[in-house]
Amino acid sequence: MKRPYSLLLIIPFLLIVAWRIWLPADLSACPADVETAGPLTLVIRDYFERNSRTDWQDMDDRFDILSTPEGQSIASQPNSHTCEALRVLQSPAFSQSEKIFTMALMFRLPIDQYMALMDRSHQLYTQGKMDKEVLTLVVFPRGTAINYWWLPAWRQRFSRDAPSVLDANLINDVLSGRYWFDYPGAGF
């Protein structure tokens, strides 16, 4: 008799903990009007200028920013740069290439922050402030999604945005898990 009672107490507790862990982060606390360039902005701008403002589509590897020491520093601690990444994504002062580089550095965000970034990216895409390629990278990241493709909250966001940027067969492979099990390099 004691065991079922304990189980009844543990199940709601576990559900509350799971709900809290996988709840998207609240990015409304991010200051919107900050004009000063932070570390992420400086890395993105410097990388873009060093490459002669080359469009990401003309580069050999759009993820090359991850191989720079500065890029590795940001990518290893992305959660401290989430608000700045959001400012880059929503600012018309940044090119779509700079937005691609920004998202490449955010691949390892904790899932709650990444889902909040997915939600905001959806809004920016529907407002025309983000192009299809940037949204594709947001929806289909190499780092975060490989670990959370099974999570209902991530799947809901993926299912909302993927049809406008990805092929139906690829969407089915991602949602079934087939894509991630056959993924070369398993993430990075």
Predicted confidence (pLDDT) at residue 168 exceeds the cutoff of 90: yes
Q: What is the DSSP string of 111-169?
A: HHHHHHHHHHHHHHHHTTSS-HHHHHHHHS-SSHHHHHTT-HHHHHHHHHHGGGTS-HH
Q: Is residue 6 part of a domain?
A: no
Residue 91 structure tokens: 């600012």
- The domain tally of the chain equals 1
Distances (CA, A) of 11 to 4, 14, 151, 179: 11, 5, 18, 32
- Domain region containing 40: 36-181
Would 49 be classed as within a structural domain?
yes
CB atoms < 10 A from the CB of 185, how many? 7
Determine, yes or no, domain membership for 10: no
Q: Is 14 inside any structural domain?
A: no
Residue 132 falls within a domain, yes or no?
yes
Which pTM value belongs to this model?
0.77
| 126 located within any domain | yes
Q: pLDDT tens for residues 84-132? A: 998 899 888 898 889 988 998 998 888 888 888 899 999 999 999 888 9
